Structure 1
């Protein structure tokens, strides 16, 4: 199919808009000092905390998001539309609003948090709060992408397995999951990338305590004026990880298609 000549103009503008700022970041990055900067205490604390919390939150997203996508894809009724909307809202919600919602619910004086505090459970402004915030914003990315994949795949294989006597759980584990493996991997990669880049909800709900709640994006934000070189070095790390994850996600999505 031929492409109209005029389409190349907005294509070029879009490409420049996306590529030039990234190029500017890469040009300004202190490449010669990168090993020194990335081995500093602040950098290692932020990197370690981000990776640890993102791994935990991504596992939570995978554990609760996969069945959620299955239920939404295989169920009918008006309630599914409401639930689908609820699942999608965090994708478009301003991160600071998401953090405020978590704080007013799970904070020390929150709707549920005040009762948890009575028994000695504190979530707000702890490492657990970072995991909760990341899970909250990343969960929709897996559910939405996986639900679409389940609908596209259809239910022929599941119906055949059920006809042969397989239980719903066995069908899910031995038939549905192998078919959807590329989609699950792609959605998980996107969820991990979203969790890694989370900023607003984390800052509002978890605060910024070095080694406890100060993740990579928060550290970059704080360093942007006091230590520009370290901020740029950490930004390069985030950019590299994001590029690898998105590239992997696209490759997996392509193999699924």
Structure 2
């Protein structure tokens, strides 16, 4: 089922840490040429050195909040690797704040990264796919915070609700061009960015409130990603926003 990704060119944004970093490694391990994009080039170089498998990882400087630079960055990705087959639209930020404590700057930064950046990266990639007559796959990283209320994530949840709606709209608009668009919606996932919090007393209270009393790992998201980027396995899946949350969103 996963053989389709071997030899394909995949752009992964937000690849310097967390979910994006793991996705880049997983795709490389299955033979893809991964263009790992983020602001921190030093972290991307470390990622390239750590990765193993029949594929390869190339580094690309990309700040998704710089809309004027997105098209040039996508063009550079294609110059390095060739035409893109898959976009993993993963760049995002998630400050944990109560609504009354959220500043204008934090609010604007979340929307600039999570919503505006995701839209214009998808637009830039899809334009090239359509112009070349190439079918493709776009997978957006959303969140169950865009589906249900999660504590201290009001503004973040608003951005991810927008990403989910964007996913559905783009899936319909680009269906005739052969571009599938889906979203992965994680619940609580342990990464290097939140490991200390989840190990703390407050974090343990959060975990104890979950249906299975555990946080997911980045590896728990891998199988869904691989299915959604596969040309055969997800042939008829588009416009889906799929929770990976141990039933948290059903509580």
Shorter chain as denominator, the TM-score bin is under 0.3
Q: What's the TM-score once normalised by structure 1's chain length?
A: 0.26
The structure that has the greater radius of gyration is 1
> Which of the pair has the greater relative contact order for Cα pairs under 8 Å at 6+ separation?
1
Task: Compute the TM-score of the two structures, normalised by the length of structure 2.
Answer: 0.27
